[in-house]
């Protein structure tokens, strides 16, 4: 398990599956304990230890937080007989995102979408006029002016566009074409993943699979 990717995926998941402070603290403690075990698929930990590290002083609060993590798909727990500590499995959120993106790709690789988005490794992009454009002039009093459609779509549906995100969007427009960037934004919005990091993951997966806007489209 990649610790950094897992933590980033965790915060992305919080946007659609929010957690209480107690559950979030417990998740981080479980990650810490799992890290010390060498990232075993399943590991055991005493409730007293987890309560202490997560600052959960009451067992009922701990059990409520653990149940919340289970119900929302962050962990899996197996009770063991007697007074033996339960075993835990931390769900790979990063892998879950990758699988979800693969499903998006498979869904969009239909006959209808292939008419618009198809493989063309010799693509000659027509968006070079965006390359030298700095993001700052695109914004004035929170309104986009003379901005690419993808940036305007982001601001209207995702939230305020920072100069950093604007530059990154322009980079992807020059790399894959604005139509594909817009399509990725729409797919992320449909999945209720309203953050630029998730859109970038979709675009990166499509680029690795050779998914481009065809020059004839």
Other C-beta atoms within 10 Å of 189: how many?
Answer: 16
Residue 190 has pLDDT above 80, yes or no: yes
Residues 119 and 172 in one domain: yes
Structure-model confidence comparison of residues 131 and 166, the more confident one: 166
Residue 62 has pLDDT above 60, yes or no: yes
Residues 85 and 131 in one domain: no
pLDDT given at position 4: 84
CATH number of the CATH domain containing 132: 1.10.10.630
Range of the domain at 52: 3-91
Average pLDDT (151-179) is 89
Query: What b/e string do you get for 108-137 counting C-beta neighbours within 10 Å, with b at 16 or more?
Result: beeeeeeeebbebeeeebebeebeeeebee
Residues 60 and 154 in one domain: no
Q: Where does a domain end: 91, 109, 141?
A: 91
Residues 59 and 112 in one domain: no
Residues 74 and 116 in one domain: no
* Nearest-angstrom CA–CA distance, 177 and 156: 20
Q: Where does a domain end: 64, 91, 118?
A: 91
User: For residue range 9-57, what is the model confidence (pLDDT) as tens digits?
Assistant: 888 777 677 899 999 999 999 999 999 999 999 999 999 999 999 998 8
Residues 80 and 15 in one domain: yes
Residues 112 and 81 in one domain: no
pLDDT given at position 213: 56
Residue 130 has pLDDT above 50, yes or no: no
CATH number of the CATH domain containing 13: 1.10.10.10
The number of folded domains in the chain is 2
Residues 47 and 153 in one domain: no
Average pLDDT, the chain: 77
Residue 129 has pLDDT above 70, yes or no: no
Q: Where does a domain end: 91, 107, 139?
A: 91
Q: % helix / strand / coil in the chain, to the nearest 5?
A: 55, 10, 35
Residues 27 and 10 in one domain: yes
Helix ranges (H only) for 128-176 are 149-157, 163-176
């Amino acid at each position: 398990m990649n610790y950094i990717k897992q933590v980033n995926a965790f915060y992305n998941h919080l946007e659609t599956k929010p957690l209480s402070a107690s559950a979030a603290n417990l998740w981080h403690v479980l990650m810490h304990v799992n890290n010390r075990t060498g990232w075993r698929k399943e590991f055991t930990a005493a409730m007293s230890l987890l309560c202490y590290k997560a600052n959960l002083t009451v067992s009922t609060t701990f059990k409520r937080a653990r149940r919340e993590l289970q119900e929302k798909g962050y962990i899996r727990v197996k009770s063991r007989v007697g007074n033996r500590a339960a075993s835990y499995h931390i769900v790979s959120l990063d892998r879950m995102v990758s699988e979800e993106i693969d499903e998006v790709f498979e869904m969009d690789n239909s006959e209808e979408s292939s008419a618009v988005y198809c493989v063309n490794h010799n693509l000659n992009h027509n968006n070079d006029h965006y390359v030298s454009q700095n993001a700052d002039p695109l914004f004035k009093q929170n309104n986009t002016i003379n901005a690419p459609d993808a940036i305007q779509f982001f601001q209207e549906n995702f939230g305020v566009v920072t100069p950093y995100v604007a530059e990154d969007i322009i980079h992807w427009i020059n790399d894959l074409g604005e139509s594909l960037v817009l399509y990725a934004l729409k797919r992320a919005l449909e999945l209720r993943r309203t953050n630029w990091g998730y859109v970038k993951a979709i675009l990166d997966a499509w680029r690795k699979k050779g998914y481009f806007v065809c020059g004839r489209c």
